[in-house]
Copies of this chain bind each other. A is one copy, B any other.
Amino acid sequence: MATDSSSSTLAHTIHLPSQPGQPVPVVAASGVSGSDFRNAIESSLFKQWLKNIQTQTGMLANGAMSLSQVLIQGVDMFGKRVGFLKFKADVVDKETGLKVPGIVFARGPAVAVLILLDSDGETYAVLTEQVRVPVGRLILELPAGMLDADKGDIVGAAVKEVEEETGIHLNLDDVIDLTAFLEPSTGCKIFPSPGGCDEDISLFLHRTEVDKGIIQQLQGKQMGLRDQGEFIKVHVAPYKNLWRMTADAKALMAIALYEMAKRDGLLPSLQD
């Protein structure tokens, strides 16, 4: 199928049930090695995208669009697995023959948790602070992390990220799935940047009462997996200020879901 000698020989063909009779060539951009190309087309990220476009709500579903080619532009390996994948899909609106923007930065699913701690009459949110190179600065965010695409355990991943990033140990049933309140037609996940990225986020809520000492212990705690380059400082701040104090989309999304679910009476009565 592919050799390592020249990118012009790297090619693969995909047969999509959604467009029988129009197989899709997958080719490599110059500079993409044979092993990168194979990793790309065999990755969960690429397979998930192919799956997404063919679902009932997918872009190939109603026959209005067709996929004519995919160009693998680049692969970022995180050890043995594909961490990020960049490709260009040539998608055409059949009626007009015009192309729809098709550049994809694929990184897969993620989870985030809004942790609310009630102490001494105040409700606090637990945040992480770390340098984020893409935005070039330290920012405050909800504890979050990328899902291992091969494993489907979203709640488990949420609990693990909270532990690694804040030291707070949660049980699987200590969290409420906020994104589950979305209508099923949405897929019950949020897309942070759907014009360029495949990322979807599942948001969880954990709310509990704690002693004041817990708040003090958390404030400024250094966490994160150093060998993965995570240098995280924990911040605890009054929840009522959260909406103004962070540039993190995840925090605002969680606030919206939490406040609207509360307003509509969808949260268990322990949540005020």
Report which A residues bind B (CB closer than 8 A): 7, 29-33, 49, 52-53, 55, 57-59, 61, 65, 73-74, 76, 83-84, 86, 88-89, 91, 93, 96, 98-107, 131-139, 141, 144, 146, 181-183, 185-187, 189-201, 226-229, 231, 243-249, 252-253, 255-257, 259-260
> How far, in whole Å, are A226 and B65 apart by their CA atoms in the complex?
14
Contact of A31 among B30, B49, B131, B227 (CB under 8 A): B30
> How far, in whole Å, are A144 and B191 apart by their CA atoms in the complex?
14
Instruction: Write 10 A-B pairs (CB below 8 A) sorted by A numbering.
Output: A59-B131, A76-B88, A101-B229, A134-B194, A190-B252, A196-B199, A243-B256, A249-B253, A256-B256, A259-B260
The number of times this chain is found in the oligomer is 2
> How far, in whole Å, are A181 and B139 apart by their CA atoms in the complex?
17
Q: Are A104 and B86 in contact (CB under 8 A)?
A: no
Q: Are A245 and B52 in contact (CB under 8 A)?
A: no
Q: Which residues of B contact A248 (CB under 8 A)?
A: 190-191, 194
> How far, in whole Å, are A163 and B186 apart by their CA atoms in the complex?
26
For the complex of A and B, the 3 pairs showing the least CB-CB separation, nearest first, are: A31-B31, A52-B136, A30-B31
How many whole Å from A18's CB to the nearest CB in chain B? 11
> How far, in whole Å, are A76 and B195 apart by their CA atoms in the complex?
14
How many whole Å from A242's CB to the nearest CB in chain B? 9
Q: Which residues of B contact A199 (CB under 8 A)?
A: 193, 196
Q: Which residues of B contact A31 (CB under 8 A)?
A: 7, 29-32
Q: Which residues of B contact A228 (CB under 8 A)?
A: 101
Q: Which residues of B contact A187 (CB under 8 A)?
A: 247
Q: Which residue of B lies closest to A243 (CB)?
A: B260
Q: Are A100 and B133 in contact (CB under 8 A)?
A: yes
Q: Which residues of B contact A58 (CB under 8 A)?
A: 136-137
Q: Are B197 and A133 in contact (CB under 8 A)?
A: no
Q: Are A100 and B182 in contact (CB under 8 A)?
A: no
Q: Which residues of B contact A61 (CB under 8 A)?
A: 137
A84-B196, A193-B197, A193-B199 known; A100 vs B229 contact (CB < 8 Å): yes
